[in-house]
Amino acid sequence: MKAKTIAKNFGFELEEEPISIYPFSPVYRLKRPEGDFIVKKTQHPIQKANRLMKYTKTINKQGIEVIIPAKISVENPRTFDEETYVVYPFIHGESYVGKDWEIQEAGRLLGRIHALSPVNNEFELDIYNVFDFTEEEVTESFQHIVQNAAPHGITINPKLEVRLLQAVRQQAELKQADLISVATPHDFKANNLVYTPKPYLIDPDNAGWIPRIFDLALVLLLFHNELVSAPDRPFTKQQWHLFLLGYGEFVILSQVEKANWLKALKHVFLDEVMWLMADVEEDWQNSVQRTLFENLIQLFLDFEEYSLT
């Protein structure tokens, strides 16, 4: 279904087909007399979308700065063909630029979100269960990364493949570890935050029931991904500890989590970063994203510097 038709079904009157403000999925900023709104794809089918909205509404009522569906005159969210869309209010604020206070406040926000998680998955969010990578997948992906980097004069350190293969061999052990899982947006990146001036989470649609340290690992690796105003590198060690300082005001990590931290970092790189470098060839043509990738590889080969303490 065309975006214009979807928008009209939500009560927006448009003359022309809207253009997505995000290159990787449909996200439309639309206007009505009462203000600006975002229309975007969310979890599907509608039962999953409703569970997601129940979760975000709950933590919003508990004081978390997270976007919730706009109060409009029609059902929201709703399904069109094989996709489900939601209307959110547009949140005005400033983009993240990598200042120390922004990083620490982001850590506080994620810490508050994790601290509010129920002990059990009472919101029935999708449970993380991606522990089935193969060595063949790593070998193929590594070759794609090498091919993507080569036209830009970048030589990929072969140790990257070695460490990715280590992650594959550790995934069964990591799956059996007694890790604490939490209800969390699981896409906690700078491009999903608006500072008002405190950070406000504007895209919680990837929420799930996730091992807590996997969520932290994703922050360390990809917090600066896909945001022009962010630095073209992951957190420095000092910035990472600033984030943890804010996070630690609300969450005390377990000894089991600390013991499995480096394995978790390797696994999340395998799950979230490897495919990004291997499958999205056009990202390598962007000098900022290319520099981020180079720095991510360096971080991956020197994880020991990024502890949880």
Q: Which fold has domain 100-305?
A: Aminoglycoside 3'-phosphotransferase; Chain: A, domain 2 (3.90.1200)
CA 267 to chain CA centroid, nearest Å: 15
Structure tokens at 233: 């590198």
Q: What is the pLDDT of residue 308?
A: 92
First to last CA, the chain: 49
Q: Crossing angle of helices 237-247/100-115, nearest 10°?
A: 40
Phi, psi angles (nearest 5°) of residue 62? -85, 5
Q: What is the pLDDT of residue 1?
A: 76
pLDDT tens for each residue of the chain, 309 residues long: 789 999 999 999 898 899 999 888 899 999 988 899 999 999 999 999 999 999 999 999 999 999 999 999 999 999 999 999 999 999 999 999 999 999 999 999 999 999 999 999 999 999 999 999 999 999 999 999 999 999 999 999 999 999 999 999 999 999 999 999 999 999 999 999 999 999 999 999 999 999 999 999 999 999 999 999 999 999 999 999 999 999 999 999 999 999 999 999 999 999 999 999 999 899 999 999 999 999 999 999 988 889 998
CA–CA separation, 166 and 146 (whole Å): 19
Q: Which of 209, 191, 208, 202 is nearest to 69 (CA)?
A: 202
Q: What is the pLDDT of residue 303?
A: 86
Q: What is the pLDDT of residue 23?
A: 82
- Per-domain boundaries in the chain: 3-89, 100-305
Q: What is the pLDDT of residue 33?
A: 87
Whether the model clears a pTM of 0.85, i.e. scores above it, the answer is yes
Q: What is the pLDDT of residue 192?
A: 97
Q: What is the pLDDT of residue 147?
A: 97
Contact present, 231 and 96 (Cβ < 8 Å) = no
Q: Which fold has domain 3-89?
A: Phosphorylase Kinase; domain 1 (3.30.200)
CA–CA separation, 56 and 68 (whole Å): 6
